[in-house]
Amino acid sequence: MSEHKKSGYIAVLDLSGSEKKQLWIGTNDIKTLSNMSNPSNKDFYLSLNSFVFGSRKATDLKQIRNIGVDLDFYKLDISKEYVIQNLQDFIAEGMLPCPNLVMYGRGMQLIYTVQGGAAPQMAFLSQYITNHFIKMLMPLGADGSCSDLSRVLRMPYTTHSKTGKQIELEIWTRREHDLQELYDYVPPLEKKRQPKRTATRKKGSISTLPSQKGVMNLYSLNTKRKSDLEKIVVLRNGEIEHRHDMTYIYAFTTALIVKNQIATLEMTFQINDKFKEPQTKKEVERTVKDAYRDAIKFFDAFAENGFTMRGLASNLIKPMKTETIFRKLDIKLTKEELELMDTLIDSEESKHRDKLRKRKTRGSVSLEEHKEKTARQTDNQLAKLKELIAENPKPKWKSIAVEMGISERHLRRLRKEI
């Protein structure tokens, strides 16, 4: 939290008792938060990002504040000292940015704090960066299923009830990172990177983002879908009947993000371990190999086609539609489960979200009142435009749009009406 990170509230989860408690902390509650961060509190968690008060759904994300990576190195039987040495080597060689905070519990968490926070529209980029950091840190036990923006981490200095140990914390650097800088450490979204940022680049802007909308949509869809699939496994306590299909879909989705077969395999092994009845290593390897081949074949064709689906060969295996995934997995999500999903939602949930978006846009008024207000506003704008045109025989449309306080696109619509 800072002067530049005021939007929304961060969530604090208290799992010490039999009932889960969730508290909401804003910029005026820093002292309260600080008092919670002590050894007497057990199993307290903190969200990495901020949300609308009372909701930690991805749709209610208000500000991206941190990127976090979990390192469960204890599962690989390697030491904390070995992990730290490798991290320092990666940083020294310019392969990995220096994390702001490193937390130690049973494993280790790396926290990269985003300078000034980032808008929810940058969620896909934040998750894309997270997945590539995970890919890089797989040999150190990075958890491939921890890229969700609504996730929480243990609160520093509180106690882990199972181990009885306090969550330790080290500050490795106080210099915050903007998304552009973090993005520079991962493969570009397109095969060809755009020019590096210059001294005149506006602070906080993303100069290397691709111009093609299609490739951004692809990564946005797949980073969210990967997270949704992980949520389904957790919500169902690993009871997935069609494990082969889940494995293929998860591997195909992950491959489109990381484009690395070994990392795709390792992340899929991790999701397989969460199944109540895990598949054999050979089964997983065989499925991942097929999914990876199909995914890369699709991506290459998609790139050659100008990052658009239109005109792609009909025999090409493409990312599955939501209805197809539900049919393949033979699952029907409950209303509560659907609310937690980003992309894997049915038509009813989609309509509900669209209704909420429209209601938010028009405020608390009814649809009829909103339409009436909009019509009055349009009439006023048309009258003003006619007046300006009468005063200017050769009008400069850009200047008129600025004077009226509207976009040039809206101005064109008004001109058509006249």
For residue 254, count CB atoms less than 10 angstroms from its CB and return exposed for 0-12, middle for 13-18, buried for 19 or more. Answer: buried
Summary mean pLDDT of the chain: 88
Whether residue 398 contacts residue 408, with contact meaning beta carbons closer than 8 Å, is answered with: yes
Whether residue 187 contacts residue 126, with contact meaning beta carbons closer than 8 Å, is answered with: no
3-state secondary structure of 371: helix
Q: For the residues 12-21, what does the mean pLDDT come to? A: 90
Q: Which range, of 110-119, 140-149, 238-247, averages the lowest pLDDT?
A: 140-149
Task: Using the predicted structure, report yes or no on whether residue 278 has a pLDDT greater than 90.
Answer: yes
The reported pLDDT for the residue numbered 312 is: 92
- Round to whole Å and give the CA distance between 95 and 73: 19
- Round to whole Å and give the CA distance between 214 and 303: 9
Structure tokens at 315: 């025999």
Burial 340-363 (b: 16+ CB within 10 A, else e): bbbbbbbeebeeeeeeeeeeeeee
- Round to whole Å and give the CA distance between 254 and 243: 16
The reported pLDDT for the residue numbered 392 is: 83
Tell me 121's DSSP state. Answer: G
- Round to whole Å and give the CA distance between 200 and 352: 43
- Round to whole Å and give the CA distance between 322 and 134: 26
The reported pLDDT for the residue numbered 25 is: 93
Instruction: Indicate the pTM of the whole model.
Output: 0.74
Tell me 275's DSSP state. Answer: S
- Round to whole Å and give the CA distance between 109 and 101: 8
